[in-house]
Structure formats: structure tokens, C-alpha cells
């Protein structure tokens, strides 16, 4: 059987992961292993405030992680949502896929499973993330203490006290328009290996300051992630509620299945999002990779990019995402 040219597609924050994934694919590795590895690298990076360790917390100061992985050969998939106190949710998602007859575990069940498969608890909050949370929700102006002091403070803060003392109900404080760009974000990886198999992985800490227990599109198969060797792999970043409502990732796949070109399929999915009438700060980005190695990015806002790297390239390159108004 003729081998295929390996290729990796990623969201803009996936440069280090995409490079490592390509190295693995060049050595004959599987697409599924490549996307998991790539996600782990982003999850471990404290400088990425939208994924894994260092992700910005929810409105209570707790980091809750969402991730999913999908195998295009078999359509097997695994996901975790609202994972608290453990790192590398993508690896746990893969274990859900491979070791359980389930697709998605949430919250305390996901944590129980993490312990059962031998993962050690690991606080995902960095000093910086806690400081930003505290500046926003707790004190507005007290001199920040040491990192230990911050963490201890965060531990001691009981949930209702933080917000009720300030007279704000939880729902009003969460999901406000993001004042800084890194309060949103997710990492997407799509890969095709030399055997022509496709895989996709998505990982996020969700939207910063989210309501506790809020789950976005990233761990929802069909919303933020979908992969099928026959048609392609698709993943999303942006306001997850939009991709859940429009089943965005699966929609792109179905539009491809129906015979549309990749460009037409992406536009159609953007039109589905536009129909939801998102507000100004709610955007949606899509990346897609077909079995033939064609790739594209789409966006509801101008000026967004994605990364791609084929086995012939020395490094990932940026490509523009096509906005809905481009024709
Ligand atoms: N899609 C992610 C979520 O809704 C966040 C993002 O990509 O900005 O949780």
C-alpha cells in the first residue's frame, strides 16, 4: 500500500505540539498518538492560559479542564469534562476511549477514573492564573502574597462567600465578555499519518471565569471535535455554546459527506453559526483536514490564522482562516 504524506493541522497556539507530532509521524507513528502527544505539550505549557496547566480558572478560582480525542478509523472517541485537580486531560480522554465502554466522563467521575488509572493529583493553577482571578474577583488592590499564600487563600475561600460577600450572584459574574484575549482559547490538533488514518484532539480550560460546571464544545463529540477517515477531521475554538448549538464539527463532516468542497462545507458551517446571531465578543474558529490532505481554517471574525505542517516542511506555517464574508 502506498504511504501517505503525514500532515498536522493545529490552532495557532499549537506550534510546539505540531512540531513534536510531526516528528512522531515521520518516524511512522500513528495519527492518534501524534494528536495526543501534541495536546499534552500544550497542556503542560504554563504560558498558555487557555489549556491545561496554567489555564485560567472558573469564577471560583478552580481550573476545570475539558478534552476529547477521536480515532478516524473506528469513530471511537473519548472525552472528559470539568476535570479538576489532575493534568493532561487528553490522556485521560484517551483512556476513557480505550478502557471504558463510555465516551464522556465528567467532574468527580472523571477524577475517580484518573485515580484508578494511576494518575497523580496535580494542582493546575499557576501563581499567575490565581493572581488574575484574585484581582478580578477577590480583593482589587491588596498586595499579592507569596505563591503559597495565594494558593492557600484560594483553597480557603468558600464558594458562596467570595461572591455573595460582594453581592454578585455567580451567574452574573461568569461568562462576561472577555476583557483580554487569552481569557478564551483551546488547542486543536488534526493529523493524518502515513497509513492515511486521521485523528483529532481538542483540549481546553474553557472560557475564563466560567460558571462552575460549565462545559464547552471541546469535549462534546460532534460539537468541538469530529473525525472520520472517510470524510475528514474537524475541530473548533471559540465560544463553545455556539458549536454545541450548531453541532459544528459534525456538520462540516456531513457537508463534506454530502458532496460539498471543503471551502463550501466550512462556509456552510459558518452560516449555521451566523444564524445563531452571536454577540460581538462571541466568535467561532474551525480547522479541517480531509483524507486527501487538503486543509483549511474558517472563522466568524477577521484576521485569524491556523497552523499546518506536512512531512516535507521544516516547521509549522501559518495560514489565514477564511472569514464568512470572504467569497
Ligand atoms: N471552545 C472553548 C470553550 O467553549 C473555549 C475557546 O476556545 O475559547 O470551552
Burial 105-126 (b: 16+ CB within 10 A, else e): bbbebbbebbeeeebeeebbbb
Mean residue pLDDT of the chain comes to 89
Containing H/E element for 323? strand 322-323
- Report d(CA 265, CA 117) in Å as an integer: 39
Which of 56, 89, 184, 221 to mutate for ligand 1's pocket (most ligand atoms within 8 Å of CB)?
184
pLDDT above 50: residue 318: yes
pLDDT for residue 163 = 34
Percent of the chain past pLDDT 70, that is, above it, reads: 86
| Protein residue whose Cα sits closest to atom 4 of ligand 1 | 240
CATH number for the domain whose boundaries are 7-157+184-326:
3.60.20.30
Index of the ligand 1 atom closest to the CA of residue 186: 7
Is the CB of 219 within 6 Å of ligand 1? no
- Report yes or no: 73 and 197 within 8 Å, Cβ to Cβ: yes
Spans of all domains in the chain: 7-157+184-326
pLDDT for residue 324 = 87
pTM for the model: 0.89
pLDDT for residue 177 = 40
Burial 3-41 (b: 16+ CB within 10 A, else e): ebebbbbbbbbbbbbbbbbbebbeeebbbbbbbbbbbbb
* Region of 303 on the Ramachandran plot (φ > 0 left; ψ -120 to 50 alpha; else beta): left
Read off the pLDDT of residues 16-51 as tens digits, 9 standing for 90 and up.
999 999 999 999 999 999 999 999 999 999 999 999
Q: How far is the CA of 267 from the centre of ligand 1 (A)?
A: 20
Read off the pLDDT of residues 170-202 as tens digits, 9 standing for 90 and up.
555 454 444 446 788 999 999 999 999 999 999
Amino acid at each position: 500500500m502506498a504511504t501517505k504524506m503525514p500532515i498536522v493541522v493545529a490552532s495557532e497556539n499549537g506550534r510546539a505540539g505540531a512540531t513534536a507530532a510531526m516528528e512522531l509521524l515521520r518516524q511512522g507513528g500513528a495519527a492518534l498518538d501524534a494528536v495526543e502527544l501534541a495536546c499534552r505539550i500544550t497542556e503542560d505549557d504554563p504560558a498558555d492560559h487557555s489549556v491545561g496547566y496554567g489555564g485560567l480558572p472558573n469564577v471560583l478560582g478552580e481550573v476545570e479542564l475539558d478534552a476529547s480525542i477521536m480515532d478516524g478509523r473506528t469513530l471511537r472517541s473519548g472525552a472528559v469534562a470539568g476535570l479538576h485537580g489532575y493534568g493532561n486531560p487528553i490522556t485521560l480522554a484517551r483512556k476513557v476511549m480505550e478502557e471504558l465502554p463510555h465516551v464522556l466522563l465528567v467532574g468527580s467521575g472523571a477524577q475517580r477514573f484518573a485515580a484508578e488509572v494511576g494518575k497523580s493529583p496535580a494542582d493546575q493553577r499557576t501563581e499567575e492564573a490565581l493572581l488574575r482571578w484574585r484581582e478580578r474577583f477577590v480583593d482589587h488592590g491588596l498586595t499579592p502574597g507569596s505563591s503559597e499564600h495565594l494558593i492557600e487563600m484560594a483553597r480557603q475561600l468558600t464558594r458562596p462567600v467570595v461572591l455573595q460577600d460582594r453581592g454578585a450572584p455567580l451567574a452574573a459574574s461568569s461568562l462576561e465578555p472577555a476583557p483580554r484575549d487569552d481569557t478564551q482559547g483551546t488547542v486543536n490538533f488534526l493529523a493524518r499519518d502515513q497509513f492515511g488514518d486521521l485523528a483529532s484532539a481538542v483540549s481546553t480550560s474553557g472560557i475564563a471565569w466560567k460558571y462552575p460546571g460549565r462545559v464547552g464544545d471541546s469535549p462534546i463529540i460532534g460539537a468541538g471535535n469530529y473525525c472520520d477517515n472517510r470524510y475528514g477531521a474537524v475541530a473548533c475554538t471559540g465560544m463553545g455554546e455556539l458549536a454545541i448549538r450548531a453541532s459544528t464539527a459534525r456538520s462540516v463532516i456531513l457537508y463534506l459527506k454530502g458532496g460539498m468542497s471543503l471551502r463550501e462545507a466550512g462556509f456552510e458551517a459558518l452560516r449555521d453559526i451566523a444564524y445563531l446571531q452571536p454577540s460581538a465578543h462571541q466568535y467561532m474558529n474551525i480547522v479541517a483536514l480531509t483524507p486527501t490532505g487538503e486543509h483549511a481554517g474558517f472563522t466568524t471574525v477577521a484576521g485569524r490564522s491556523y497552523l499546518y505542517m506536512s512531512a516535507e516542511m521544516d516547521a509549522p506555517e501559518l495560514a489565514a482562516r477564511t472569514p464568512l464574508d470572504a467569497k
